[in-house]
Structure 1
């Protein structure tokens, strides 16, 4: 299991050696309306060769966290505090020159929309080869040969011909494969996949996930998979971090979180998923309410305005006291372990079928 051993803001335990370590990360955006608290005290670890799934609704802070790891934020309007260590190297406050050397080489990202991420003016092969030439000093001939090799690795047919095609000549699934080839061409130690199967049909989704698993075994990369779909993350991740309103609300192995979720928000995510075994006319169980404004997030537990069970805690604790995330497996919730188990068995499991 991925090493996730300390509460928010604390350093790793002596003897632990995560490849990526994020500690008490805060990300603030300055806007005309005020300060947006996009990430609010996030901590997690990731080992080499492991996959961490980060799930949550839009606006939960998933993508902002990982763009910050890569240094792809605007320093003029963004304030970042906390610690980000990549293989022992501090990234918070690192210079643009340092980050440019790391991006595409030691860490890379698969963006959500390859049609937007790929330039329509250059061939797919040229764009795949660019980071390889930049970081290795290879010439155009060597870069093109490497691009062909990578296109073959990700399953593009006739790679020697398709390397000279433009993005619009690729299907959606092929463009996503091309993005994976581009991100892996320098054999990065950390690969961040931001919703890599969005807008793809189920068959192509499965192919992309299988491809990521196969390439991870070959290259040994650590992977962060960002998604809102627990079904997707369950197929590839080793561990799971559930985020809400810029905070981590639950973490553990994928099996633990899927089979025995402990946070009401995780219960809501699971309950809202359609199931193959359910009747076609059976209504879904959406999470009530709307995600909070990060300009003025709720006090206490950020999820309490949408939670079904604050009366079990009693008083105003949920609305006034922010619950901490326990070390290791656990959830940031004021419900006792006995209450969580009782509610899950009596009310949540019947919804899941």
Structure 2
């Protein structure tokens, strides 16, 4: 099972070292309007061969976190504090040459939009082969053969012909497969998939998910799967980390999060999803309000301005005190365990069916 931890000055758990360990990560961006607090004290661990799903609305810090792991932020406008350790190697503050040796080789990323991530000036095959040539030193001919092999592996028809096509000659699903081929060409130990099924039809979406599972089994990669779609993550991840306002607010196994969620924000995410078993006339229950400004995030619990249950907490704890996320299966919320169970059974569970 994937081990997840959210700590605030808490030491890492004992036992075998995880393959990827993130501890007390803070990411700040300098802008003309002020400092954007994109990630605010995030910690988690990921083991080899496991998949961690990170879910949350846009702006919750999902992609920023994982771009920090790869060292892709502009150091001139970004402040990063905390520890990011990959297979025993500290990445925070590591020289760019060190990170270049790891990116595309030991760790790789499938970006959200393959149309903008792929260059229109070079063939798909050349772009797929580039990291393999760089990290192994093989010739361009050998790199091209390896690109054809990867295009075959990800299900591109006629790969010997399509390897010389340009991105605009590929459909959306094929471009996404090409991005997966590029990310996996060096058999990375860590694969970060940033909403790889966004804007794809459900048939292609299912094929992409099955492909990632098959390739994970073949290469034994650890996967971080970033999405806002809990339906997708249900079939992909071993564990889920729910993020909101740059913080982790709930964690647990897929089964725990989907069947017994503990945080009001997670309740909202699940309640807003359509279900096959529901009557078509039954309305969805969207989360009221808008995500918080990361220039001026709310005090206390970041979700309290949108939460319908703050009146059940004594005093002004929701707005004045930041709830901790204890070790193990937990949620960062001031509601008691009894209150969570009561609210879930009486109000939330009937919506979920």
Is contact 1:154-1:178 (8 Å) kept?
yes
Residues 1:229 and 2:229 are matched in the alignment: yes
Q: CA deviation at 1:281?
A: 3.3
Match in the other structure for 1:262: 262
Match in the other structure for 2:145: 145
Could you tell me how far apart the structure 1 residues matched to 2:52 and 2:79 are?
Answer: 25
Could you tell me how far apart the structure 2 residues matched to 1:234 and 1:217 are?
Answer: 18
Match in the other structure for 1:198: 198
Is contact 1:10-1:23 (8 Å) kept?
no
Could you tell me how far apart the structure 1 residues matched to 2:132 and 2:12 are?
Answer: 34
Match in the other structure for 1:117: 117
Q: CA deviation at 1:274?
A: 1.1
Match in the other structure for 2:156: 156
Could you tell me how far apart the structure 2 residues matched to 1:59 and 1:158 are?
Answer: 39
SS in 2 for 1:30: strand
SS in 2 for 1:155: coil
Structure 1 residues 214-273: Cα deviation after superposition (integer angstroms, max 9, x where no partner): 000001100000000000111110000000000000001111111100000000000011
Match in the other structure for 2:107: 107
Is contact 1:6-1:13 (8 Å) kept?
no
Match in the other structure for 2:41: 41
Is contact 1:10-1:24 (8 Å) kept?
no
Structure 1 residues 330-352: Cα deviation after superposition (integer angstroms, max 9, x where no partner): 00001111111110010001111
Could you tell me how far apart the structure 2 residues matched to 1:8 and 1:154 are?
Answer: 41
User: Which runs of structure 2 are paired with 1:178-257 in the superposition (5 Å)?
Assistant: 178-257=178-257
Could you tell me how far apart the structure 2 residues matched to 1:115 and 1:32 are?
Answer: 29
Q: CA deviation at 1:283?
A: 2.1
Aligned length: 353
Match in the other structure for 1:321: 321
Q: CA deviation at 1:7?
A: 2.9
SS in 2 for 1:42: strand
Structure 2 unmatched runs, 5+: none
Could you tell me how far apart the structure 1 residues matched to 2:215 and 2:4 are?
Answer: 24
Is contact 2:151-2:163 (8 Å) kept?
yes
Structure 1 residues 36-59: Cα deviation after superposition (integer angstroms, max 9, x where no partner): 100000000000000000000000
Residues 1:291 and 2:291 are matched in the alignment: yes
Structure 1 unmatched runs, 5+: none
Match in the other structure for 2:175: 175
Structure 1 residues 124-156: Cα deviation after superposition (integer angstroms, max 9, x where no partner): 110000000000001011000000000111111
TM-score, normalising length from structure 2? 0.98
Could you tell me how far apart the structure 2 residues matched to 1:55 and 1:35 are?
Answer: 24
Could you tell me how far apart the structure 2 residues matched to 1:254 and 1:205 are?
Answer: 19
Most deviating of 38-47 and 12-21: 12-21
Most deviating of 155-164 and 209-218: 155-164
Could you tell me how far apart the structure 1 residues matched to 2:6 and 2:55 are?
Answer: 20
Structure 1 residues 305-346: Cα deviation after superposition (integer angstroms, max 9, x where no partner): 100101111210111010000101100001111111110010
TM-score, normalising length from structure 1? 0.98
Q: CA deviation at 1:5?
A: 4.6
Could you tell me how far apart the structure 2 residues matched to 1:76 and 1:6 are?
Answer: 28
Is contact 1:271-1:351 (8 Å) kept?
yes
Is contact 2:189-2:222 (8 Å) kept?
yes
Most deviating of 273-282 and 152-161: 273-282
